[in-house]
Amino acid sequence: MRKAGLRLDHAEWALKKRPHRPDAIVPGHPEKSELVKRIESKDPHYLMPQSDQGEANPMSPAEIATLKEWIRQGAVYRPHWAFAAPARPPVPLSQSDAAWVKTPVDNFILAKLEKAGLHSSPEADRTTLVRRVTLDLTGLLPTPDETLAFVNDTSPNAYEHLVDGLLARPTFGEQRARYWLDYARYADTYGLHFDNSRDIWPYRDYVIRSFNANKPFDQFTMEQIAGDLLPMKNLDPLIGSGYVRLGISSNEGGTIPRSCGSTSHASALRRSALHLWD
């Protein structure tokens, strides 16, 4: 229940004038902000925040100092970074080694190096380069013949051709999918008690196929959050929805009823995901 008509997670509510009540936040003036008075109060009845049991749960001195400084600087609210439209930052200009720069990305790397007082490393020889890029993109070492072919390739686009070939291999998807599968907590067993096996490998193969097909990220995420509610030309969206069942499980059916909520609530949550990219 919201008390005192106060809400602090949105600027329009946090800075709103409330009749017959002091201003919670006065931008630029922590000494005039009721919020600061409450978090610094010595009276346990007025001290905020409080625990769910109604007991004082004071902030640390460092947290209070940070909050006061934020108010002093204007109490600027910013949206969560995930909802902020990306903007291209200005490309920094090198002060020392402009010849090292091959792409705009290099400018950012070089700027960080210069700030840290470091210098760029010498360019790798072709044998080292083919080894590094093949390991990075496929997780496998190049064969001797592949290494020799790249070393002897004198064409100006030899490196680009090498990368294109590696991206076209099935092993590229297998390598890159490992990271997503780790984030999603993929495992071939349930993780509890007897840790017995479960047949969820089609989800693993779905992730690999998605990377190899360069599937758009919004489509990739929607299929996993709400794939069973999407129109399907194949089984991939349905298989992708296996994402919601990747957590460890006792496999006892209902031992943790709050883990996923009621059927109607879960369905509503998935339906809302369909509008994420509208």
Q: What pLDDT is attached to residue 253? A: 62
For the ranges 10-19, 28-37, 258-267, the one whose mean pLDDT is highest: 28-37
The number of residues in the chain equals: 278
The whole-model pTM stands at 0.63
Q: What pLDDT is attached to residue 258? A: 47
Closest CA to 207 of 236, 166, 246, 245: 236
pLDDT tens by residue, 172-183: 999 999 999 999
- The answer, yes or no, to whether residue 222 has pLDDT greater than 80, is yes
**CA 23 to the chain's CA centroid:** 36
pLDDT tens by residue, 67-101: 999 999 999 998 888 888 888 999 998 767 778 88
Reduced to 3 states, what is the DSSP secondary structure of residue 113? Answer: helix
Residue 272, token pair as written in the block: 């809302």
Who wins on pLDDT, 42 or 27?
27
CA end-to-end span of the chain: 32
Q: Kindly report the number of other CB atoms within 10 A of residue 71's CB atom.
A: 21
Residue 218, token pair as written in the block: 């919004």
